[in-house]
Chains A and B, each alone.
Chain A
Amino acid sequence: MAMKRIDVIREISKRKGLIICNLGFPSRELYSIKDKNTNFYMLGSMGMASSIGLGVALCQKEKVYIIEGDGSILMNLGSLATIAAYATPNLNLIVVDNGVYGSTGKQPTHTAKVADLKKIAKGAGNKKVFEVKSIEQLKEALEQGGPLIIVAKVNQESKKVPEVPLEAEFIKKRFMNAIYELNK
């Protein structure tokens, strides 16, 4: 029985740290699990999750978990090289790979047939890269210490959950305050 994306997100949400979450269903699922002041929900700018997460990880000490998708990391593959060049041990990039653009109608991405994100991440120069297919494997990989890239293979299921009902500026201010408090 294949993993669902929401199970991956739930496992990450249990941990202490900051979460940068990709737009669309991932942010909606994260919000539905548990809204926290340490969650940054993306509402636009597809492809930017790993870059935002790198910026946050470089500029403060708390652990950063980036919930990224296969379609969106394929839009910004250069980010994997920048992460290899600069990332600090507090960076954890989790690419939830379902082989489709889940939020736009399940059109296939190129990981469905040809592209291997684990090999691409390694080829970009990242040392700790894991591909996981179960929650047990995910938990084990998350214990390895960062900078860490995990490609989590999941099925195409999205939970029917509503939009994130928060304003962008509210998300920002709350998240910035949380970072400030955690790093005091």
Chain B
Amino acid sequence: MGEIDKEIVKFLVESGIDFVCSVPCMLLKGILEEIEKTNLRHVRVNREEEGVGVCAGAYLAGKKPALVIQNSGLGNSINALLSLTKFYRLGLFILMSHRGDKYEKIKAQVPMGEATPKLLKLLNIEYAKVTEPNQLFLIKNLVKKAFKEEDIKAVLLSRSLWL
């Protein structure tokens, strides 16, 4: 897989993430393959909200979990993110591919793609948008913050990273 995928997973591991739940996305293909090569405990869930639940359990048991999903899955997860993760103050890092931005070819992705940054703000989820490889260090910063503050932090990965 590409260097960028290796680098992203390296940042995840180095920042202390030790448990991952994922739902696939075309953009995340390489990242998910790289995750399988590490010692990270990786649970493939069917729906993003389910991953929020599994990550919550992992956090309760002392892990530092990450949810690796497409931004469309944010919509599937909102209730659990607020009434479970935020309400109990559980740490969670979300690595999210950002479909439906200016590079998108599939029109159905656009409404959620445009809403995603606004939704994150509305939900009071701090995030960074990563468009270039030299911004990947933001993953480390936000992972640290997620577990220090026991809150949800997210990174939106732009398609431009793979162009």
Contacts and interface: CB of A to CB of B under 8 A. Distances in A.
A48 B60 contact: no
A147 interface: no
B58 A59 contact: yes
- Central interface residue in A55, A56, A60, by most chain B CB within 10 Å: A55
B60 A55 contact: yes
Contact of A78 (B41, B45, B58): B45
Contacts of B5: none
Interface string A10-49: 0000000000100000000000000000001011111111
Interface stretch (B76-84, B130-138, B140-148, B152-160): B76-84
Interface stretch (B85-93, B101-109, B114-122): B85-93
Given A47-B49, A54-B54, A82-B46, A59 B84 contact: no
A55 B84 contact: no
Contacts of B52: 48, 51
Q: Sort chain B's interface into a size bin.
A: 20 to 34
Interface in A136-184: 168-169, 171-172, 175-176, 179-180, 183
A50 B87 CA distance: 18
How many A residues are at the interface, by size bracket? 35 or more
A79 interface: yes
A107 interface: no
Given A52-B60, A55-B60, 14 more contacts: A20-B57, A51-B50, A51-B51, A51-B52, A52-B54, A52-B84, A58-B61, A59-B63, A79-B46, A82-B54, A172-B88, A172-B89, A175-B60, A180-B62
Interface of A: 20, 40, 42-60, 76, 78-79, 81-82, 85-86, 168-169, 171-172, 175-176, 179-180, 183
Closest 3 CB pairs of A and B: A55-B57, A51-B53, A44-B83
Interface of B: 19, 41, 43-47, 49-63, 65, 79-80, 82-84, 87-90
